[in-house]
């Protein structure tokens, strides 16, 4: 394929805006604590709140990462197999607590392509997840951009 | 002591913080979050299939580090926005320097906000992450 030829296929275009099945997950004290330990969390009050399962103490935004397995990344047809995360963006609009039940709705937000750069001709697929808590309140919008590329990464 | 809105000035730099995530930490992170991808833990895959120098730190782990960095400086004030552009991979057991700068202080609808630029640099001084954040003050 020449560099002039677009990598965006009609099937990809059709995937833009598509939503997946909503998933639910609970902010679980045990998983949050494991994550805190993996990140060498130094905030003693936060660690104590997670250890005791305190449902009133505001958790850090990164607690949402414990729901990653329920954060389905919709597959986009025809994308090259090699892929790396290019960007993450969190918009947080409400506090996160242990015990919160989140409904997570995945969506393919946008697809762009780039010619040149470290990985050559590549595609940027923007995935979005909207998190809503058990009170129906939107808690966060998480957007992730994944670069799909055909040639090997330069390592730089 | 967390920084207050009054103590901030546009253009002021936040103190740097060093982090050196080990392979064990990456493994624990992947276990805790369900993060999958051989590029994070398999040296052969990272080198042969991806063309990377070695297994890399997951992007969402660096997101966690930046979240911690912000809470360290701003305490319980709410992080309403955190954006990261991953420009270069970071490798296991290699020091990363996290830093930031206040870009704008503003008031909207009676609430005060600080907009920040954030970054992660590798030991060569290359910027592996460019980021931005907004902190809402009570």
Number of domains in chain A: 1
- Over range A115-120, report the average pLDDT: 74
- Over range B23-37, report the average pLDDT: 94
The sign of the torsion formed by the CA atoms of A146, B82, B1, B13 equals: positive
**Where residue B51 falls among pLDDT bands split at 50, 70, 90?**
confident
> Is B27 inside any structural domain?
yes
By three-state DSSP, how is residue A99 classified?
Answer: coil
Res A152: pLDDT: 61
Q: How far is CA A123 from CA A55, A111, A117, B138, in A?
A: 41, 7, 11, 40
CATH number at residue A129: 3.10.129.10
Indicate the average pLDDT of chain A: 90
Q: State which residues form the domain around A123.
A: 10-149
> Is A122 inside any structural domain?
yes
> Is B65 inside any structural domain?
yes
Indicate the average pLDDT of chain B: 94
> Is B47 inside any structural domain?
yes
By three-state DSSP, how is residue A141 classified?
Answer: strand
Residue A35: closest CA among chain B residues belongs to which residue?
B32
> Is A156 inside any structural domain?
no
- Over range A111-130, report the average pLDDT: 87
Task: Please judge whether A82 and B50 are an interchain contact, meaning their C-beta atoms are less than 8 angstroms apart.
Answer: yes
Residues 67-126 of A with CB under 8 A from B: 68-69, 82, 84-93, 95
Res A71: pLDDT: 83
CB-closest option in A41, A91, A152 to B68:
A41
CATH number at residue B126: 3.10.129.10
- Over range A63-67, report the average pLDDT: 94
> Is A154 inside any structural domain?
no
**Where residue A153 falls among pLDDT bands split at 50, 70, 90?**
low
**Where residue A121 falls among pLDDT bands split at 50, 70, 90?**
confident
> Is A5 inside any structural domain?
no
Number of domains in chain B: 1
What does the CA dihedral A25, B68, B93, A142 come to, rounded to 10 degrees?
A: 40
> Is B1 inside any structural domain?
no
B76 vs A contacts (CB less than 8 Å): 58
- Has residue B36 got a pLDDT over 80? yes
Task: Please judge whether B80 and A39 are an interchain contact, meaning their C-beta atoms are less than 8 angstroms apart.
Answer: no
Q: How far apart are CA A146 and CA B60, in angstroms?
A: 12
> Is A66 inside any structural domain?
yes
Residues 75-134 of B with CB under 8 A from A: 76, 78-86, 88-89, 126
- Has residue A33 got a pLDDT over 60? yes
Q: State which residues form the domain around B120.
A: 11-137
């Amino acid at each position: 394929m020449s560099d002039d030829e677009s990598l965006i296929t009609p099937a990809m275009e059709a995937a833009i805006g598509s939503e997946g099945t909503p998933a639910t997950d609970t902010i679980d004290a045990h998983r949050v604590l494991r994550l805190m330990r993996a990140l060498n969390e130094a905030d003693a009050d936060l660690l104590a709140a997670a250890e005791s399962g305190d449902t009133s103490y505001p958790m850090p935004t990164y607690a949402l990462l414990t729901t990653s397995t329920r954060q389905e990344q919709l597959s986009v047809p025809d994308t090259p197999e090699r892929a790396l995360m290019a960007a993450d963006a969190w918009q947080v609009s409400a506090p996160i607590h242990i015990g919160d039940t989140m409904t997570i709705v995945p969506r393919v937000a946008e697809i762009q392509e780039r010619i040149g750069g470290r990985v050559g001709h590549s595609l940027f697929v923007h995935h979005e997840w909207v998190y809503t808590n058990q009170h129906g309140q939107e808690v966060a919008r998480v957007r992730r951009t994944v670069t799909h590329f055909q040639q090997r990464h330069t390592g730089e | 002591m967390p920084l207050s809105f009054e103590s901030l000035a546009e253009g002021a730099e936040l103190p740097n913080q060093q982090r050196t995530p080990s392979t064990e930490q990456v493994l624990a992170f992947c276990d805790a979050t369900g993060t999958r991808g051989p590029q994070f833990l398999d040296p052969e895959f990272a080198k042969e299939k991806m063309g990377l120098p070695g297994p890399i730190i997951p992007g969402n782990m660096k997101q966690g580090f930046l979240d911690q960095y912000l809470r360290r400086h701003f305490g319980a004030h709410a992080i309403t926005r955190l954006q990261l552009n991953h420009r270069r991979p970071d490798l296991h057991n290699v020091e990363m320097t996290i830093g930031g700068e206040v870009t704008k202080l503003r008031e909207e609808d009676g609430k005060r906000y600080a907009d920040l630029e954030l970054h992660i640099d590798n030991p060569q001084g290359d910027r592996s992450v460019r980021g931005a954040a907004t902190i809402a003050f009570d």
